[in-house]
Amino acid sequence: MPPSPAPFFAFQRERKHRVFGGAFGTRLPAAAWHDKPSYAIVATGDRELDPATAQRMAKRAGSKVTVLEGGHLVFVARPRAVAHVIETTARAVR
């Protein structure tokens, strides 16, 4: 984690907004992951989404998985590692 995550969490708390409920009931003709490359980051210490569950979901989607040490907010705790994964992925799909 950064030295003091309090400002980040305050920012998140103040900017939360409701998710549009209709998004959950919308039927799509096909899932994008059937036809497009899929990538996932699994955080080993995630206590919100069990890492084993995340691995199963990624496998089902045919995702290329990167495992990083960290919790649910791995992108906050390890921004450079996450950015590296994103940059590597972006170069791979050009």
- What's the 3-state SS for 59-81? HHCCCEEEEECCCCCHHHHCHHH
Closest CA to 54 of 62, 43, 64: 43
Provide the pLDDT for residue 41: 97
Structure tokens at 69: 């040490």
Q: What is the mean pLDDT of residues 13-40?
A: 78
Q: What is the mean pLDDT of residues 9-17?
A: 72
| Environment class of 42 (CB within 10 Å of its CB; exposed 0-12, middle 13-18, buried 19+) | buried
pTM (whole model) above 0.85: no
